[in-house]
Chain A
Amino acid sequence: MTRQRLVGWGRTTPGMSEVQSPASEDLVAREMTLGSRTIARGLGRSYGDAAQLSGGVVLSNRALGGIGAIAPDGVVTLGAGVSIDELLAVAIPQGWFVPVTPGTRQVTIGGAVAADVHGKNHHRDGSIGDHVLEMRLVTPAGRFSVSPSVEPDLFWATIGGMGLTGVVTTVTLRLIKIETDRILVDTHRHSNLDDVMSAMSDGDDEYRYSVAWVDCMTKGASMGRAILTRGDHATRRDLASASLVAPAPARLRVPFNAPSGLLNPLSIRAFNEVWFRSAPQSREGEEQSLGTFFHPLDGVNDWNRLYGRRGFVQYQFAVADAQAECVVRAIDRLSSSGVASFLAVLKRFGPANHGMLSFPLAGWTLALDLPVGPSALPTVLDDLDEMVIDAGGRVYLAKDSRLNPEAVRVMYPRLPHFLDVKNRIDPRHQLASDLARRLQLVGK
């Protein structure tokens, strides 16, 4: 057991915890019977305080490894501490790919399930929880095998449940078949937000993967100008020569914290300008590697250090189709308040799943990276919360580090159901995280 200072990817609210790395389900279960307050942690990619518990015991899942044989139908069972990167290294050469990947490969499958992560294909394929067939879960009330048909309540409380229902030890999911390690990508520049949103509404269904990068620093007629990239896996017939090679590890890293203020309105505006102008007006059928298309930021290790000592917050919300106006008003509010936001990511969501605290809901989602510093930022984000609530939407807990408890109750109407399930398997409120304490999701 070591006492460690843990912090989320946004590097905003560190806390000291006892960190354990149990290497088997038995050892996880033994930790659980000791009765300390505890939470599981993977690779620490949630932005806020979801995978830390100040003064408590944090169970790293990284020693829960092991990737089973991939069955002919793509079904595979793996330890919850296996990262998507590690899984892909095994799966891609055999012609398999994960059904859902977030913007980084550096997440564990246990963490991915806890956040019910989504990717560029949510409008078609849903989130990771939709592809999980079974999980092993260690709770204070014992061990469970859960699936959509066995203990469905506990299953759907765990999908997106931010680790608060126990420690996931193994996950069984179904991979998808790929013929090559290339994506055929169509890229289009759009001069404003309305333009890109209507292109996405009209055309996303024709693509498996779609995402738009939006410039939140421009005002007026070019407000929300964007670059829309969409694509699908290349087949062998599409390519002159096909290969199946897993993405390589990052070659670059940020060795120390950049000075706070390096990313300021001026530098971000300049970056956005260069980035927008360097994208092609329109290019179709471009071959990109899986890594380039899905995980561009994985090319640089520790890129979060660029935000400096005070770190950054990510604000991601989802609203229904009928509330598309909320996206426009959110970007307008940001660009008019002078709060600097790095490129924002805009994407369409397909239908929600049964995950009680799962984030996606059919419609739109916008994600914003915001350096901590501008004194207006806390208030601007509180205003955005109200806009999102008025639009019947919600904010993503895996990204959150500043919501207030009242807002979460309105955004996640299935929270009472979640708490019923949690109280059944954790009557003494042993499972907790700093996020859960901040949002009052757990008893004292």
Chain B
Amino acid sequence: MENAFGQPQNIVVFAGSSEIARAITKKLCAARAHTVILAGRDQELLDEAAREALDYGASRTDTVIFDAEDVAGAASAVRDAFDKAGDSVDLVIMAVGLLGHQLRDQSDPAAAARVVTVNFTWPVAALSEVRNRLLAQGSGRIVVLSSVGAVRVRASAYLYGGAKAGLDRLCQGMADSLRGTGVSLHLVRPGAVRTRMTAGLPEVPFTTGVNEVAATVMKGLARGDEVIWSPPVLRLVYAVLRHLPGPVWRKVMDR
């Protein structure tokens, strides 16, 4: 059960070996998390993340393998993870995502659809089952990794940004649907983060490391923020950017 400070004990992480998810998991384990179920596609990476969770204070870990292109398998991946968690799940982290390669993918219909499947369709299918489970439990929280790129979609990353935008808006509605149920959903909108996914790309303003994102998420969870911006200043930056006239927006964002 989660305590008065919003520190969960039982957590399930989808894309549990992703760098941001691992950074958040470490911090949760250092607080109160003792049961950590990590779901992902690569057993070896998951095992590594599980060892790390134990190092940081978890007492029990388990893993679940899933394929984020297999939408039909999403519900069973969720059921598998919840069954392995045993008692109620306090926090579910949905960190599934794929940056893809915009220039290559935009001319390839199958590749374009794949970006949407992994960033949007699979997470929505999985979240639907997560929602069912948590409503039955009567308590629990969901953290969904969105992106500032979802706030206003840029030409140079419209597949990823567009798919995340779909997820972001859908989750805002889902969060509202959960009001008064004991369950809540929190959206995380990080700016550019230094990870394997972004390695080699030129660094943009407000780029942070994964530990900064994790620290911001912990703070937002403790406060119960519905939208967690990382770094927090991006909330103000995007309050301006999202309303820029098109020509200015294109000039600023897609130089």
A contacts, CB < 8 Å to B = 5, 10, 12-17, 48-49, 54-56, 309-311, 313, 372, 375, 377-378, 401-402, 404-405, 434-435, 437-438, 444
Is A16 touching B139 in the complex (CB atoms < 8 A)? yes
- Quote the shortest CB–CB distance from A164 to chain B (angstroms): 15
Is B88 touching A54 in the complex (CB atoms < 8 A)? yes
**Which residues from B are CB-within-8-Å of A14?**
139, 182
Interface residue B202 (Cβ < 8 Å from any Cβ of A)? no
Is B4 touching A375 in the complex (CB atoms < 8 A)? no
**Which residues from B are CB-within-8-Å of A5?**
180-182
SS class of chain A's interface: helix, strand, loop or mixed? loop
Q: In chain B between 209 and 237, which residues have their CB closer than 8 angstroms to a CB of chain A? A: 219, 222-224
Known: A378-B7, A437-B88. A54 touches B223 (CB 8 A): no
Is B5 touching A378 in the complex (CB atoms < 8 A)? yes
- Quote the shortest CB–CB distance from B1 to chain A (angstroms): 4
CA distance A49 to B223 in the complex (A): 19
**Which residues from B are CB-within-8-Å of A310?**
223-224
Is B3 touching A54 in the complex (CB atoms < 8 A)? no
Interface residue B32 (Cβ < 8 Å from any Cβ of A)? yes
Interface residue B136 (Cβ < 8 Å from any Cβ of A)? yes
Is B139 touching A55 in the complex (CB atoms < 8 A)? yes
**Which residues from A are CB-within-8-Å of B222?**
375
**Which residues from A are CB-within-8-Å of B224?**
309-310
Is A55 touching B137 in the complex (CB atoms < 8 A)? yes
CA distance A174 to B185 in the complex (A): 50
- Quote the shortest CB–CB distance from A8 to chain B (angstroms): 9
Is B5 touching A438 in the complex (CB atoms < 8 A)? no
Known: A310-B223, A375-B219, A437-B87. A402 touches B3 (CB 8 A): yes
Interface residue B2 (Cβ < 8 Å from any Cβ of A)? yes
CA distance A183 to B136 in the complex (A): 50
CA distance A435 to B2 in the complex (A): 10
Is A437 touching B1 in the complex (CB atoms < 8 A)? yes
Is B5 touching A402 in the complex (CB atoms < 8 A)? yes
**Which residues from A are CB-within-8-Å of B182?**
5, 14-16, 54
CA distance A309 to B2 in the complex (A): 17
**Which residues from A are CB-within-8-Å of B32?**
404
Is B138 touching A438 in the complex (CB atoms < 8 A)? no
Binary contact track B77-102/A, C-beta < 8 Å → 1, others 0:
00000000011100000000000000
Interface residue B31 (Cβ < 8 Å from any Cβ of A)? yes
Interface residue B17 (Cβ < 8 Å from any Cβ of A)? no
Partner of B139 from the list A15, A401, A405 (CB cut-off 8 Å) is A15
Cross-chain pairs A/B with CB under 8 angstroms, 14 sampled: A12-B5, A13-B2, A13-B3, A16-B181, A54-B137, A55-B136, A309-B224, A310-B224, A377-B5, A402-B5, A404-B32, A405-B34, A435-B1, A438-B2
Interface residue B63 (Cβ < 8 Å from any Cβ of A)? no
Contacts A54-B137, A437-B1 known; list 18 others, CB within 8 Å.
A5-B180, A13-B139, A48-B4, A49-B1, A54-B139, A55-B136, A55-B138, A310-B224, A372-B5, A375-B219, A377-B5, A401-B3, A401-B4, A402-B3, A402-B5, A434-B139, A438-B3, A444-B87
Partner of B31 from the list A48, A49, A377, A378 (CB cut-off 8 Å) is A378
Q: Which residue of A lies closest to B34 (CB)?
A: A405
Q: Which residue of A lies closest to B137 (CB)?
A: A55
- Quote the shortest CB–CB distance from A9 to chain B (angstroms): 11
Of A12, A16, A309, A313, chain B has the most CB atoms within 10 Å of the CB of: A16
Partner of B9 from the list A56, A378, A438 (CB cut-off 8 Å) is A438
**Which residues from A are CB-within-8-Å of B181?**
5, 16
**Which residues from A are CB-within-8-Å of B86?**
444
Binary contact track B1-29/A, C-beta < 8 Å → 1, others 0:
11111010100000000000000000000
**Which residues from A are CB-within-8-Å of B3?**
12-13, 401-402, 438
Is B88 touching A402 in the complex (CB atoms < 8 A)? no
